[in-house]
Amino acid sequence: MKKKINNLIGFLIVSIIGGLIAQQLVWPWLLKTSFFAQYKKEETPIHITEEKKIYIEENTALEEVVEKVEKSVIGVKSITKQSKVLEGSGLIITSDGLAITLAELVPQGSDFSFYVDGELTSYQILKRDLDNNLALIKLGKENLNTLSFIEENKIKLGKRVFLFGLIFQEKGKRTKVINEGIIRSLEEDKIKTSLLEGRNLSGSPLFDVRGNVLGLNKINEEGRVVTIPINKIKDFTGF
């Protein structure tokens, strides 16, 4: 009986040593041959941590871009001859006070108010283009924040974009609003987006995720955001 136990222990020891040798020396060598290479195990990639990291980085980047663009967006408020109140936004385009908004927000004969960084400022309306719905204003402030216009060849279908605008509240307070979506279609005179908004965000600029300006937004009757593209703005301003 004792002999059988010793033989069993010896067999187990030999088996363990043989297994270690096979795992460390024989099997790696066999995997290098053409026949066994097909059975080589590949490490399965783990994506969960990476996806979370990308998601956090994108959100952080968007927050930083919003902080970058908000000081270049102005508030626009007009009271027409018929006592109709028009509210919306606009965009500063030069540091010495040139700004653009929609012509529909500043009809002739109205009383106007323009707000820069929350403060009421003096102004002069330089010109209107009713066909393209654009107006150029000279604000009574300098050393203002400006942003870059996007290169036209980088405006593509499916591009992630966001608008930033100001909504007027009671007692002169203004609420900052952001809405994010994509470009749904492109035409020579307009960009259609997936965004839905109220009319009080007319004139808000449209940006890419780097803070470059794509154009100024109109809100159609269905509440969809349609953008006057940057090429129209360049033609109008002469930039």
Instruction: Report if pTM > 0.75.
Output: no
| pLDDT score recorded for residue 12 | 56
In the predicted model, what is the mean pLDDT of the chain? 83
Show me where the domains of the chain are located. Answer: 65-69+148-237, 71-139
Confidence check: pLDDT of 160 > 90 = yes
Confidence check: pLDDT of 49 > 50 = no
The order of strands in the sheet holding 98-101 is 119-121, 111-116, 73-79, 85-92, 98-101, 134-139, 123-129
Topology (CATH level 3) of domain 65-69+148-237: Thrombin, subunit H (2.40.10)
CA–CA distance, 12 with 6 (Å, rounded to integer): 10
CA–CA distance, 147 with 95 (Å, rounded to integer): 10
CATH architecture for segment(s) 71-139: Beta Barrel (2.40)
Token pair listed for 171: 């007692």
Cβ count near 216 (within 10 Å):
28
**In the block, residue with structure tokens 């102005």:** 74
| pLDDT score recorded for residue 59 | 60
Cβ count near 224 (within 10 Å):
16
Fold match between domain 65-69+148-237 and domain 71-139? yes
Token pair listed for 218: 């109109």
Token pair listed for 21: 């040798």
CA–CA distance, 215 with 228 (Å, rounded to integer): 5
Which has the minimum average pLDDT: 8-12, 157-161, 175-179, 206-210?
8-12
